[in-house]
Amino acid sequence: MIRYALRCEQGHDFDGWFRSSGGFETMRDAGQVTCAECGSAKVDRALMAPAVTEKRALLTTPRNKAEAALEALRRKVEENSDYVGLRFAEEARAMHDGDRPARAIHGEARPDEARKLIEDGVPIAPLPFIPRRQAN
């Protein structure tokens, strides 16, 4: 989905959501996009400013006690375990089966992989945050 700021021939500003840029153009050309204020079908995209947030504040400054607690948990996990990425299910199973030495790990697993690990008695738990490598 894509959100566009729109303006009609009378200068009225409004916005709309569309499946794609091409979807907007097809609907506009068919007269299906009309001004919310005057009903004019002569509508085009208006200039939009991107919604940009300050990266530093977003990623490093907790806004409340819950975010601070999650950040503390994240730090503890990252400091005391090895990140194994997409190999999480493979590593967890190998340690459970005794094929690799046991150690604390964290990583990523598809839902079906996690379900299978749980069904097989491998002790895992979901973490309430995504890896930093994906948090940008």
**pLDDT by 10s per residue, the chain, length 136:** 788 899 999 999 888 888 888 889 999 999 999 988 899 999 999 877 666 655 544 556 777 888 888 889 999 999 999 999 999 999 999 999 999 999 999 999 999 999 999 999 999 999 888 777 654 4
- Give the pLDDT of residue 95: 96
Q: Rounded to an integer, what distance in angstroms lies between the CA atom of residue 16 and that of residue 25?
A: 12
- Give the pLDDT of residue 21: 87
- Give the pLDDT of residue 64: 85
Q: Rounded to an integer, what distance in angstroms lies between the CA atom of residue 36 and that of residue 96?
A: 60
Beta strand spans in 21-68 (E): 43-45
- Give the pLDDT of residue 136: 44
Extract the tokens encoding 126: 């979901």
pTM check: above 0.75: no
- Give the pLDDT of residue 134: 52
14: left (phi over 0), alpha (psi -120 to 50) or beta: beta
Q: In what order do the strands lie in the sheet with 2-8?
A: 13-18, 2-8, 43-45
- Give the pLDDT of residue 2: 87
- Give the pLDDT of residue 55: 53
SS3 content of the chain, % helix, strand, coil (to 5): 40, 15, 45
- Give the pLDDT of residue 59: 53
